Structures are given as structure tokens and as C-alpha cells.
Amino acid sequence: MSSNTLDFEVTPNERPTPAADREAILANPGWGQHFTDHMVTIRYSAEKGWHDARLQPYGPIPLDPASQVLHYAQELFEGLKAYRQDDGSIVSFRPYMNAARMNRSARRMAMPEIPEELFVQALEVLVRTDRDWVPGTPGYSLYLRPFMFATSRVLGVNQPSQEYLFMVIASPSGSYYPRGIKPVTVWLSQNYTRAAPGGTGEAKTGGNYAASFAGQAEAVAQGCDQVVWLDAVEHRWVEEVGSMNLMFVYGSGSEARLLTPALTGTLLAGITRDSMLKLAPDLGIPVEEGKISIEEWQAGCESGEISEVFGCGTAAIISPVGAVRGPDREWRIGDGEPGEISMKLRAELLGIQSGSRPDPYGWVHKII
Ligand SMILES: Cc1ncc(COP(=O)(O)O)c(C=O)c1O
């Protein structure tokens, strides 16, 4: 046991989900609705550091009403998946990137960093215990949700909590596209911004998501699927779509190149985004991190210079954008079908995750 890992106290669930019920859930898991039989908890205090690591039955946790998280939202989370590969092994994808991102979020939220080895150990302990919950259906996975929040029992706002709880829960997830991949229509929100310079946009903290629900509801009210987040100052520079990073394909075929908004501090540094930026050049598709305004986006689509646009993130891998709508403008991208470059990148990444393609990058992390 390295000094950065802990011994877990294990309490097995004495009433696990019956196998037949579990199999019924795995046949049609939906997204984020069902949870496995166990969870991980690890406590932190300023005095003891990380301690009291447990694997225990999944269930409610007692929380003092004065816990800081309930008042000041000192919280952060991560999201990644465990996949059952074609040879039966169970893997996760770049979990150390999630650990590093959680620690960057922790620094912004004045929370303690967790050793990366302990973060990954916690995932492994849970996945090994609940291995029967990792679906075998292609495109399905076990979504892992590590999160951490402030538990000090104090209402003072002058200092961050001195105590925290880190947890991991797991939820089987089905295909993001049960009826096949369909491009989405997105809404250019002028009324709401997700993140401002100096704020918490690049931290994966719950408050960013709480603040995004109204924008998403506005998008739906406008007949769109997702909201596009624009910069908070000029409301014209494109940042993200829903909870995904955005990629723009210029040109097509062997001339195609990718542009994605640069990480300015207001965007979340997606692990799928990073993977695309590494994969694409190896497939002969040059990439650039830069800036794109809504005017350039519209003009590029109308001239045909921009051939495809897609969101990318752990949940969907790639979500093609087919149409854009705003209060005073509307345009289409491509012919309403998923584009060639989007699908090529998706197939490549999915192939690495499922084990059907080689992994020259060492991204796949074997758990079992
Ligand atoms: C705001 C936001 N942007 C982008 C992403 C994509 O990140 P990843 O590729 O790590 O899932 C997510 C999802 O985690 C997100 O919440």
C-alpha cells in the first residue's frame, strides 16, 4: 500500500439487488437513475488529512443541517465511466486526468486536494466490488461519480470548511442515443451566462450546474435541445454547449481541420476534448485551439467553410449539432445527418474504450 492510498474498511451490502432485478436494470439502464449496491466514503479533516476510508452499502448519509455545503455550496464532482471490454476485462478511461481535474477544481474552491492514487483506488474498490453492474451491451457503461463536499458544522463565511467527505457512487448507463445518433438543435443564450472571467467556470463545481438550469430551460422553451454558452462579457464568443466542449470542422475529407475554443478559464477542460485534440492529428486532421464568434460560426456555415460542428464529453462522446437558433438568427449545419469527421473521431475513441482498437496513448486503465 503506497503512502498515497488507504486501507478500506469493507461493509458488504447484506441486501444487494437480486440478480434478476439487476439484469433487468442493465438491459435498460437509462441515465443516472439506478445505483449499484455499494459506495465509497473517505473523510478529510484539517487535523488528520484523508482518513476513514470505507466501502459500504449504498444509501442515505446523515448530514448536519449546518454543514457548510448546504449553505455555501462548497462542493465539486467528477464524471467518468467503467467499460466492459470485448475480452471481458473492465477498464476506465484516463482516470488520472479526472483526479488531476478534481484537484484543480479543489484549489479554486479552497478545498483539499486528494492524492491521485487514492482517487483511483476509490474507483477501483467500488468497481471491483460492484463488477456485476458493469453492463456488457456495446455502448453501455458504468458511470462513476466521485464527489466531495464541505461538512464542517459552522455557518461562518469567513473561511472554508475544515472537514470534507469524498464519495464515489456508480450508476449503470445506457446508450446516449437509444434511437441512433441525431444532430441536436442548440440555442444561443443571451440572457444567461455559465461562467465569467475570474469565476468558477473551469472548476467542476455543482454551483455552475445549478446556474445553468435556467438557460437550459430557456433553450427547451425555444424548441432546442441544448444551450450554447457564450462569453460573459461580449455575449458573442462561443464557449461550450450544455455540458460539453465544442468542436468545429472546417473543410472536409482530407482537407478537414478542427477548431475548438481555447481554455480561457471559463471553460471546463474536458477529457474528451483533450483526447480529440490528441487523436485527430494522428488521423491526419490538424487541430487548433482558438476563438470563434457567433457571427463567424454563422458565416462559416453559410459559406460552407464549416462543414460539421459537434459537442464532446464523457456521456455522449460526440453529439453532432445540426442547427443553431438565437433570438435574432437561425442557421443549419450540414445536411441534418451526423458528419463524416464527427463519426470517424467517435468510432476511433469508442474503439479504444471498448478495446476493439489499439490504445497507443495508454489511456485505458485496467481495473479487472
Ligand atoms: C461544462 C462541461 N463542459 C465539458 C464537459 C466534458 O468534459 P469530459 O469530456 O471530461 O466529460 C463536461 C462534462 O464533464 C462539462 O460538465
Tell me, in angstroms, the distance from the centre of ligand 1 to residue 263's CA: 12
User: What integer is the mean pLDDT of 94-108?
Assistant: 98
- Ligand 1 in reach of 174 Cβ (< 6 A): no
- Ligand 1 in reach of 242 Cβ (< 6 A): no
How many C-beta neighbours within 10 Å does residue 30 have? 12
- Ligand 1 in reach of 244 Cβ (< 6 A): yes
Return d(Cα 324, Cα 226) in angstroms, integer: 10
CATH number where 192 lies: 3.20.10.10
**Residue 239: φ, ψ to 5°:** -115, -65
Count CA within 13 A, CB hemisphere, residue 175.
12
- 3 state DSSP class of 355: coil
Provide the percentage of residues in the chain whose pLDDT is more than 70: 99
CATH number where 86 lies: 3.30.470.10
Determine whether 16 is exposed, middle or buried from the number of CB atoms within 10 Å of its CB (0-12, 13-18, 19+).
middle
Count CA within 13 A, CB hemisphere, residue 366.
8
User: What integer is the mean pLDDT of 309-317?
Assistant: 96
Residue 367, domain member (yes or no): no
Same domain for 151 and 269, yes or no, is: no
End of a domain among 173, 196, 221?
A: 173
- Ligand 1 in reach of 294 Cβ (< 6 A): no
Q: Which range marks the domain in which residue 293 is found?
A: 184-354
- Ligand 1 in reach of 160 Cβ (< 6 A): no
Looking at the CA of residue 242, tell me the nearest atom of ligand 1: 1
Determine whether 1 is exposed, middle or buried from the number of CB atoms within 10 Å of its CB (0-12, 13-18, 19+).
exposed
Looking at the CA of residue 245, tell me the nearest atom of ligand 1: 4
Quick: pLDDT tens for 37-83: 999 999 999 999 999 999 999 999 999 999 999 999 999 999 999 99
Based on DSSP, count helices (H) and strands (E) in the chain, helices before strands. Answer: 9, 18
pLDDT for 2: 66
Probe target for ligand 1 pocket from 93, 243, 260, 267, with the most ligand atoms within 8 Å of CB: 243
When pLDDT is cut at 50, 70 and 90, the band that residue 86 belongs to is confident
- pLDDT above 60 (res 349): yes
Residue 218, domain member (yes or no): yes
Same domain for 191 and 133, yes or no, is: no
